[in-house]
Amino acid sequence: MPSSPTPSPTPEPSGVRRRSLLGAAAAAPVLASLAGAGSASAAPVASATAGPAGGPRALPGGGDLGPNVIVFDPSTANIQGRLDEIFKQQESAQFGTGRYALLFKPGTYSGLNAQLGFYTSIAGLGLSPDDTTINGDVTVDAGWFDGNATQNFWRSAENLALVPVSGTNRWAVSQAAPFRRMHVRGGLNLAPDGYGWASGGYIADSRIDGTVGPYSQQQWYTRDSSVGGWLNAVWNMVFSGVEGAPAQSFPEPPYTTLETTPVSREKPFLYLDGDEYRVFLPEKRTGARGVSWGNGTPRGTSLPLAQFYVAGPDDSAATLNQALEEGLHLLLTPGIYHLDRTVGVNRAGTVVLGLGYATLIPDNGVTALKVADVDGVRLAGFLVDAGPVNSSTLLEVGPEGASADHSANPTTVQDVFVRIGGAGPGKATTSLVVNSRHTIVDHTWVWRADHGDGVGWETNRADYGVVVNGDDVLITGLFVEHFNKYDVQWNGERGRTVFFQNEKAYDAPDQAAIQNGSIKGYAAYKVGDDVTEHEGWGLGSYCYYNVNPSIVQHHGFAAPNRSGVRFHGLLVVSLGGNGQYECVINDTGSPTSGTDTVPSKVVQYP
């Protein structure tokens, strides 16, 4: 890249068209799974077997991490070759079956460029990012897609220190691609080579010593981090608890900046204590600002791997439930898990941690996973993919009517992503339902597919994306797209959202298909009529009705007109004039107009 790039912060409208025309490259051939050399090993993964009395034998904790968890140490031969081999398979395998976790033991590595393709996670195995240093890069670019990064989904980097070769690391991603607990000893470029469009993204608990350059990134959320500078904004850049963040300036430039994050608790992570694998559980922070690991060892507790059932994709839902009932946590190793019944998390403090985008698919219309109304459950790092038979819900946090107070020890849902269609037929009436009070959802992308296989207005029907019924729920980093009705419906009291990114469904056939009684279209974000307190910061909704560009959406946001229901930094935008909004929120805000992709903004509401 040039040493002093100066692209326009607002590229030409023709580049904004996002993903609707991009489906041809979506499905790549499924290649044979890479396996074997370099994988972590201990005892073999166990499955339930018959005991002496014919009942299931107790399941062991711990075990082998499986062939698709590749563990490196500084003495490993030909690390670059192994990285390149996995990248070659995964680079364009957007809806393939490969799943990989690349883990680096503490130490120093030099001369590496870890290019990350789909369903690939890279992470250090130290307690601090600085325990594992790569003198080199962890790169995401968009060469596979002609320089357009708007489909660079489902990949992650965690818990590493990077010393980029050029001084700047490239991380050109879009949704479901978290950058967590990273220390970049240099700058970070969030755009692809050539500065084509990207539609990310999310940074948390990270330190970037140099400047972050979003360039063509349409929107971004950064939480509890430290940056040396921030170069520009296109539509919607949101910061909470970020040292060095730009000052609040929405609407121009469109920076929404909160000094602190109200409540946060970092994602659990796997690390090595000597030769023993453990899972670290960071403690809850209130009014958080800056990284959690800045003064050495992070604060929290840890669990030995022996307290986890190390699951593989051949394990049944019955086996996963048995492990949970026996008091084990779940570590989901990379792969695709088919579920013929719901996995039930009923014990307080249970951890369900996925590696390498482990994917849960309900095969027969069941809910993939349900959490009881208990304290301190942690769900992290996996993908739920709807099955061909309609599920009423895909993931439920708390049962209907849940009312227990979890303020001291909330349930957290982090880097848990949901997909309906794209990889094949899928249907679900509602994707994610949050009933438990005080739940923290920290970075999710809930996506009704607009390209790939099994896609169409009724083919991958999904009416609601996220429904929040519980009180006192906080969501930091909410990405929800393309649902047939409300993308987000929030019925609980005292809900808060910091950053929201949305696109209305591209594929509505006509105005009648989206009509909501007397209202033109369902809002992207709907606060229930009876709610008295709610607050949101940095929320954007976009329309791209490419099947029928004449469709009109009345507003992106709908909420009761009460003093306790407040929004800061709202925008709607029509992508290239394919459909229009009449208002931003309720009946307030200027309409979008013409083919100019220029947002209409509301600074405060009411």
Say yes or no to pLDDT of 545 above 60: yes
pLDDT digits (tens, 9 = 90+) for 350-384: 999 999 999 999 999 999 999 999 999 999 999 99
Cα gap 122→137, rounded to integer Å? 12
Give the mean model confidence (pLDDT) for residues 586-598.
94
Q: Which residues are catalytic?
A: 503
**pLDDT top residue among 558 and 27:** 558
Distance CA 305, CA 362 (A): 27
Q: Which helix (H) or strand (E) holds 168?
A: strand 168-170
Q: Report helix, strand and coil shares of the chain as percent, to nearest 5.
A: 5, 40, 50
In the predicted structure, residue 92 carries a pLDDT above the cut 50: yes
pLDDT digits (tens, 9 = 90+) for 433-443: 999 999 999 99
The yes-or-no verdict on residue 461 having pLDDT over 50 is yes
In contact, 258 and 242? CB cutoff 8 Å: no
Q: How confident is the model at residue 55 (pLDDT cuts 50, 70, 90)?
A: low
Q: How confident is the model at residue 39 (pLDDT cuts 50, 70, 90)?
A: very low
Q: For the full predicted model, state whether its pTM sits above 0.75.
A: yes
DSSP characters over 467-497: EE-SSS-EEEEEEEE--SS-SEEE-STTEEE
Mean pLDDT of 135-142: 98
Residue 29 pLDDT > 70, yes or no? Answer: no
Q: Are strands 565-574 and 219-223 parallel, antiparallel or unpaired?
A: unpaired
